[in-house]
Amino acid sequence: MDKLLALNTLLEVADAGGFSKAAQRLGVATSSVTRLMDSLEASLGTALLTRTPRKVSLTDAGIAYVEQVGKVLDDLAEADESVFDSGASPVGSLRISVPSTYSRLRLAPHLAAFLAANPRLFLDVVVADHFADLALDRIDIAIRIGRPDRDANLIVRKLADNPRYVVASHAYLERCGTPQNPQALDSHECLRVAYGGGYRSRQVWTFRRDGAEERVEVRGHLLSNSLDMLYEAVLAGQGIALLPEWLVSAEIRSGRLMHLFENFVASPHPGDAIVYAAYLPNRRHSSKVRALVQFLEARLNIALEG
């Protein structure tokens, strides 16, 4: 019995829920799949599959075995791929994670060009706003926005700046007045990004100009971890928001939003946030990681300037 073939066939049977469908997927006879599963069970001395006229399902032992086998085969595939990935030409699958709103506005428009330039690559894009565990989630590259000092154990490459703008709609400013300086924000409705605290949590926006820094505590009735939510709220005239340039620049150019305090550099906290790529040290020689990082360094900076 070819053990590796048997294990891959078992996973196919478990996913298909039957011998005939698994055989169709594998391009072999149903009888071959049945004999291979019988041999595998005999070698293990236990039943992995429950057979009924309508369906084939995993036993409890089969469920546990498939879970372990899946991990082993994934590790084997990753080991095989790492051999090819050290070459000059990027090849294989590349799994990346990226924040949801940024993926839609800044990453997605460039993926077709990247894949066209790297036809032997397959992209697996995980859209998530939490900080993924790169090892646990098998992420090759995480595209993140913030201060990279929290990723001290990873290799970090800056991809682009991430300026923020204080913005408001004309409707809000006509109703509530236009603040003339950052300190005036304490009397305005500020739409805030949730950073883990509740609505009572203290939030301070930092402003810098000519080497001087001032910090303003802001308050408001809307707190959200969704930039899309805050973006729609500021367009609807619900308040003043501090949002990334890449999210609001088009609305500022069209006149739908006003950019306040243009002479200040604004940030939700001290220190500058950037857009960066983070990856595990064992990916430092990966040609596919290098290809995406270099591509994004060029494309995202062009997008920012445009």
CB atoms within 10 A of CB 89: 13
CATH classification for the domain delimited by 3-85, as one of 3.40.50.720, 3.90.198.10, 3.30.750.200, 1.10.10.10:
1.10.10.10
CA 134/CA 136 separation, integer angstroms: 6
The alpha-helical segments, DSSP class H, found in the chain are 3-16, 19-26, 30-44, 60-85, 100-102, 108-117, 170-176, 227-235, 245-254, 287-305
Q: What is the pLDDT of residues 47-93, one digit of tens each?
A: 999 998 888 899 999 999 998 888 888 777 666 666 555 556 788 88
Residue 71, pLDDT score: 82
Q: Where in the chain is the domain with CATH 3.40.190.290?
A: 164-267
**Residue 32 near residue 45 (C-beta atoms within 8 A):** no
Q: What is the pLDDT of residues 93-124, one digit of tens each?
A: 899 999 999 999 999 999 999 999 999 999 99
Strands 190-193 and 223-224: parallel
What CATH architecture does domain 92-162+273-305 belong to?
3-Layer(aba) Sandwich (3.40)
CA 244/CA 112 separation, integer angstroms: 24
pTM score over 0.75: no
Reported as a pLDDT band with limits 50, 70 and 90, residue 222 is: very high
Residue 150, pLDDT score: 77
CATH classification for the domain delimited by 164-267, as one of 3.40.50.300, 3.40.190.290, 3.40.50.20, 1.10.260.40:
3.40.190.290
- The CA-CA-CA angle for residues 74, 159, 208, to 5°, reads 135
